[in-house]
Amino acid sequence: MRERVASIRTRVWSGIERAFAAEHTPHEIALSFAFGVFVVAMPTAGTALALFALVAYFVERASKLALVSTIVIFNPPVKWGVYGASFWLGSYILGPVPGVSVSDVSLDSGFDILFRQLLGNTILAVVMAVVGYVVVLQLTRMYKYREFSASELVPADD
């Protein structure tokens, strides 16, 4: 079991290093990640991967690994939490749906519920994308700085 975990950890770190070592600027990596977070956090009914494939094909500067990593981060249990928080936020902003309780949800209230869900989801997706951009930008800058500093310390072969 430990060997398997170690091999998975090695593959994950090598993937992260490949992503940072790719010919993308920290801004491009962070922007790709932020775009991915926004798309995956929205209720896209599983079409995010197809959209990411199109973006990766048509947008040369998009970081493919940064896009795909958002799918890994926003797995189904995480998305359930995001959707629950989205509905709560939408209901907090717009107020509860009139005449609807948890035990008595009907299709007549569908639009009101959906609107609250989408409003909260959009706000959360924007906030998470901005936070994701800042975090990934700082991580990639630190990684590239560390890589640059380490290469200066190695003596040149003369």
pLDDT in tens, 44-61: 877 888 898 899 889 888
R_g (Cα) of the chain, nearest Å? 20
Return the domain boundaries, the chain: 2-153
> Who has greater pLDDT, 85 or 100?
85
What percent of the chain is modeled with pLDDT above 70? 79
- Specify whether the CB–CB gap between 71 and 33 falls below 8 A: no
SS3 assignment, position 1? coil
pTM greater than the 0.85 cutoff: no
Beta-bridged to residue 101, according to DSSP, are 104
Max mean pLDDT among 20-34, 81-95, 119-133, 138-152 falls in: 119-133
Name the pLDDT band for 131 (thresholds 50, 70, 90): very high
